[in-house]
Structure 1
Amino acid sequence: MALKAVFFDVGETLVDEERWWRVLAERSGLQPHVVWAALGVTIERGEEHDELWRHLGIDRPTGWWNDLAYELEDLYPDAIPCLEAVRSRGLRVGVVGNQTEALERWARESALPADVISSSASLGVRKPDLRFFAGVVELADCAPEELAYVGDRVDNDVLPARAAGLVAVHLRRGPWGRLQKAPVSALTIDPLDELTDALASLA
């Protein structure tokens, strides 16, 4: 069945989160390399972001954490061209990841070339819960097999998207994208501008 829509994860798929993590470290009173190290432990153990704070020995921040947003210059150089290229092929484009309301608002205000912009905050459920992907399918207004989901994480994006019946695309960049191994059968791209050719191979 032909694809009708392509939806994208946000962090380390469209957005380079290095500056975001650096700001987080500074506001937490930590050196950035300490946070990088704790993040590495979190990835190695297959844990969620929230476990990062336990490794650092501090409480998860509140207040400013929910207001911390990306900036336009945080977008990877290939992000907008890729969204535009997919859209030019007549496919619906969506941007939906595990983000706060502030980050969803940033995506909307950035005028990304997307037909749908949402987040786990709006859906009320986070990846890798299959209900997240059921919500994504509803937003895409098509059958699961007509929707591709592009993300950097095998555990949060590739495996649950496939389990929900979507076409999963693994983007190998960022800490998770480089360190986690996708199934051999997974559609894998590196970098993002390989996406349109990869999708064409499915036709």
Structure 2
Amino acid sequence: MRAGGLLRGLDLPSGLVATSDDWGAAKPEVGFFEHVTEATPAEPGEILYVGDRLDNDIRPAVHAGLLTALIRRGPWGRIQQRDPDADAIATMRIDSQAELPEKIAKFNAEGR
């Protein structure tokens, strides 16, 4: 059984569990991000994509019209944290997913 099937079998409290294998498209392919937008009831500019890599996550998500949160974790998050593009293209930067509610509230309050 593939990862998507295993995860769905866990009956996690989520609205959607999907993998690139399920979709037949992997990051940074445009098709992956098209599946993300098709799987949600929101418009691309209302979706916040969280990733730790500028090349594989943030740049292609921005290209697809998504908002982005660059998370500083893991090896790529550490390697790319000083890249000048990080602040220029990511909607926000975070160190933990626990920061998201506060960051999103602040982003929305600023009237993006």
Write out aligned runs for 1:160-171 (5 A).
Answer: 160-171=60-71
Identical columns (%): 39
1:195 aligned to 96, 100, 112, which one? Answer: 100
SS in 2 for 1:128: coil
Give the drift of 1:136. 0.5
1:115 alignment counterpart: 15
C-alpha RMSD of the superposition: 1.5
Compute the TM-score of the two structures, normalised by the length of structure 1.
0.47
Q: Distance in 2 between matches of 1:152 and 1:106?
A: 24
Write the deviation string for residues 9-64 of structure 1: whole angstroms up to 9, x where unpaired: xxxxxxxxxxxxxxxxxxxxxxxxxxxxxxxxxxxxxxxxxxxxxxxxxxxxxxxx
In 1, Cα distance between equivalents of 2:11 and 2:78: 29
SS at match of 1:140: coil
The number of residues matched between the two structures is 103
After TM superposition, give the deviation of residue 104 of structure 1 in Å.
1.5
Larger radius of gyration: 1
Give unpaired runs (5+ residues) of structure 2: none
* Pairwise CA distance, 1:106: 2.7
3-state SS, counterpart of residue 184 of structure 1: helix
Q: Which has the higher contact order (CA 8 A, sep 6+)?
A: 1
Stretches of structure 1 lacking an aligned partner (at least 5 in a row)? 1-100
Are 1:144 and 2:47 an aligned pair? Answer: no
Q: Which residue number corresponds to residue 51 of structure 1? A: none
Correspondence list, 1:25-174, <5 A = 102-174=2-74
Query: Does the 8 Å CA contact 2:44/2:64 hold for their aligned counterparts?
Result: yes
Q: TM-score scaled to structure 2, two decimals?
A: 0.82
Measured against aligned partners, the alpha-carbon deviations of 1:99-150 in whole angstroms (never above 9, x if no partner) come to xx62222322233321011111111111101121011100012210011111
- Structure-2 separation of matches of 1:164 and 1:199: 20
Alignment partner, residue 87 of structure 2: 184
